[in-house]
Chains A and B, each alone.
Chain A
Amino acid sequence: MASLGLFAALAFPWLLGCIALAPWWPKPQPGRLPLLLGYGLLLGWALVAMGLWVWGAAGARFSLLAGLAPALVALGSGWWGYRRMGPWQLGEPLPLVEREALGSWVGLLLLAILALRGFDLLYELVTQPLFAWDSWMNWSPKTKVWFFSGYMEPFVAPKEWLARADEPLYTISTYHYPPLVPLMQLWGLLGLGRWDDTLMNLPWWFALVGLGLAFYGQGRGWGLSPLTALVFVYLLLSMPFIGVHVALPGYADIWLAAFYGLSAMALLRWAGDGDRRQLVLALLFGITCIAVKLPGTVWAVTLLPAIVGYRLRWRHLVIPLILCAVPLILLFSPYSVTFDWPWGGGEFRIGAERLWIPGFTQSVITYRPVAGAVLANTLAMPNWHLFWYLLPLALIYAVLVAGVRWVRVGLLLVVSGLLLLGFIYFFTDRAQFVTDYTIVNRGLLHMVPAQLFFIALLWWHLTGGRPAAEAA
């Protein structure tokens, strides 16, 4: 019975997400089914977690009934899509071209490897106790308390916990982290009906599946052949560091990578053919990044240059570049700008080599020589296979063909992400966590799916493919 409950709890978000999205893609097109399954899975989990959030914040006891509101939202979206786009046409779930390619020896080999890898990661996930440090220190304490209590008990800062000794509060040092990830764990437990800090992490495996399906669907929708799309899915899902975050679940990074990646893929699709549905997906998943992890806000911001760059030619980008340079100049000048942070937590300050963003960083901005650590982790250590050997080649090609609008958008997306991480790693106090290797790969993880999708599109361009709308 518990297993049935768990299965239902895991299937429910997937179903919800597909109901929400499917009517918006009524006509058969290459990659439609995996696109809907992939995006639907992740959207469904976000919806369910947010539904639990609202439910809990309203003071209601946690139960599967919290899925009602997300279900209504999904049905509403589905109904709206049906009214706007017309009846859904079934088409072939697996068209002939797909069957032929995936049935070839290369296709079968890659599918077999992916299936084996999926089993590998799932085996470790369901067998090992909760293992990775931040999983049980930062994220799962809330899950455990909310599960046993049945309510969304508040977590406050340690000092506040001490000061309010007569109130039923909880505290951990990371009390301010967003609750989306613990709520995803909680949903599975509500279905299971008992505490199990191993099985509650099954959504992590599904996140990987969703990411792979979405990548395949978006690639096919762009025009990649089935085999090319499958090869890139294999490259994505076979990277050791991505696998590790599923085999040792409980961190929020793989979710941030998935949401940011899906947002970026949709953004690039929009840049390629102007499909506004993709822009909506990009914004939706970009905003969700904010609710996953604190750095998600910053990652969401990196989407803005790409969105702005869609409309602008290179010469028009001078003004935004100058605007972006202003805070940098201020940062290294002797002057500073300070004001009370609107969301509480203290003072925001920028300038005179100081950058204080309450809840995020209080850092002295100066150059730190961490290149050795970054290069070791990307090129020498077995974290990413050959991905970081490939990216520079791809970026060189992208610069050469930057006259194409979607390439410009992709370049702005990738470069803004790299500059962001470069600034954080090389110029802020976070450098100490780069030299001890604790954040360097996790930060890179957030943007790797997005970057790999861009590389897939560049490969398609290099080998003679042309998108429907290519503006010079």
Chain B
Amino acid sequence: MQRLLGEVLGALLLAVVGVAAVLFVWSGGLAGSRPPPLVWEAQQIQVLLGRGLVSGEQLQIYPDASGRTLITLPAEPFSAEEYPYLLVERTGEEGAPLSSFVWLQADGSRDSLDIGWAGQSVAMLAPSAQEGWQGEIRQLGIITVGHANRFSLLRVTALPRSPATMWRGILQEWRVWEPFTGHTIHFRYGGPEINLELRPSVLIGVTTLLALALFALRRWLGRRPPPWQAAALIFLAGWMVLDLRWEGDLWRQHAVTRATYSGADWEARQRAAPDGDLFAAVETIKKLMPQSPQRLFVIVTDYKGRGEFYRLRTLYHLLPHRVYAEEPVLPDPSALRVGDYVLRLWEPTSVLASNGMLRWRQWQVPATRIYAEENFILYRIDAPPSVAGSVATPTNP
């Protein structure tokens, strides 16, 4: 057993040292000198779009009416190769805006890199992984979109390549946590997308493979070849390091899940979900409709974009009514029946409502408004459709 553990630890230690040595050289550890970091403190950052207010060490940034800001970091041009990393620090009190670094190169070309906050107040990026981060960088800035609230920046730093910077980035990537989101069922990033060059999985994978290679060499060359169990333990050690991180991620997820849903009954959990408003509205709408399944058309703005989630989610909540949500507009009149319902979300322009009529393409149909609440308006069709502009005559229901 002692020999086994000795073989395992020896191989792992050598592999770790080997990988660390390679990373040390790769990150410029043997370089004689390196440039100092470029630091932009709060008072040095300029807000070109939106409004900025320096308060102590923070720059409080207020987006414009459309939720956008443009921030520049004034500086002399600098070499992209000398500064492969960017560090952005903000206060953690407010939510993180969708933001990107943008830069202008000497030849006039621009490029950008999304800043993945991942719930953190510090984001470290490696724009050097982008093709556009090369040569001389003339201008550097940050843009944010879709964020109506104030947020604050503390400082932005361009870091030179060094072992310390590289390890800082690796550790930050390791600590970053990704909650369950819409894409988790398809993949997990494990951290900001391509923010840093050395993902934990790759580091652990390469180290494990190197340790296994050393083990194989020992078996091939040694007079007393180590037992195969040593290889299993080496591999298991690498696996468990990554699994420890996954377990940690799950526990952090539990905290979020518990805070949002724990102790609540089924209906309370639906209302606490991100589409809780939609669920509540649909439950109200269902109470206004007969209990037996009714035919219902869901019409939504931005049918394939943001609207896709809402039309399909509305369909799901409306079941077991017979819902049709496949088109952004009402179908041909032959498919409509008196007594059918139409639910308009966000005032879609594809189906207009006025004077007791719903109008789409060249058609119109008399419809009674049953329910109206902000973004949800429910109608019941009262009579067969007719060509728009003609005098519609309601039939007896």
**Residue ranges of A at the interface with B (Cβ–Cβ < 8 Å):** 113, 116-117, 120-121, 123-124, 127-129, 131-134, 136-137, 140-141, 144-145, 148-149, 158, 161-163, 165-166, 168-173, 195-196, 198, 228, 231, 235, 238, 240-241, 243-245, 247-248, 251, 377, 379-383, 385-386, 389-390, 393, 437-442, 459, 462-464
Contacts and interface: CB of A to CB of B under 8 A. Distances in A.
Contacts of B150: none
A158 B295 CA distance: 13
B52 interface: no
Given A117-B250, A132-B185, A382-B189, 6 more contacts: A124-B180, A132-B184, A161-B324, A198-B269, A244-B184, A441-B187
14 contacts: A113-B247, A120-B247, A162-B332, A165-B295, A171-B324, A198-B266, A235-B239, A248-B184, A248-B185, A381-B199, A382-B199, A389-B208, A440-B186, A463-B228
A165 B337 CA distance: 8
Contacts of A113: 243, 247
B187 A377 contact: yes
Interface string B197-221: 0011110110011001000000000
Contact of A248 (B180, B243, B261, B295): B180
Interface string B312-328: 11011001101010110
B322 to A, nearest CB: 6
Interface stretch (B7-15, B118-126, B131-139, B251-259): B251-259
Nearest to B262: A127
A444 B7 CA distance: 34
Given A127-B258, A382-B245, A385-B242, A165 B185 contact: no
A120 B261 contact: no
Contacts of B184: 132, 244, 248
Interface stretch (B58-66, B230-238, B368-376): B230-238
Interface in B316-351: 316, 319-320, 322, 324, 326-327, 331-332, 334-337
B122 to A, nearest CB: 20
Contacts, number: 169
A386 B253 contact: no
Given A134-B185, A382-B190, A144 B257 contact: no
B241 to A, nearest CB: 9
B371 to A, nearest CB: 21
Nearest to B291: A148
B26 interface: no
A141 B188 CA distance: 26
B270 interface: yes
A124 B179 CA distance: 12
Given A165-B337, A168-B293, A231-B232, A144 B319 contact: yes
A152 to B, nearest CB: 13
Interface centre among A168, A198, A380 (most CB of B within 10 A): A380
Q: Enumerate the 4 nearest inter-chain pairs by beta-carbon distance, A residue then B residue, closest first.
A: A382-B190, A162-B335, A148-B320, A132-B185
A145 B186 contact: no
A382 B201 CA distance: 6
Contacts of B306: none
A248 B228 CA distance: 37
A381 B189 contact: yes
B385 to A, nearest CB: 12
B205 A379 contact: yes
B285 to A, nearest CB: 16
A133 B182 contact: yes
A161 B321 CA distance: 13
Contact of B316 (A141, A148, A162): A141
A198 B180 CA distance: 16
Contacts of A116: 247
Contact of B185 (A120, A162, A172, A245): A245
A9 B248 CA distance: 33
B239 A386 contact: yes
A124 B315 CA distance: 25
B140 to A, nearest CB: 27
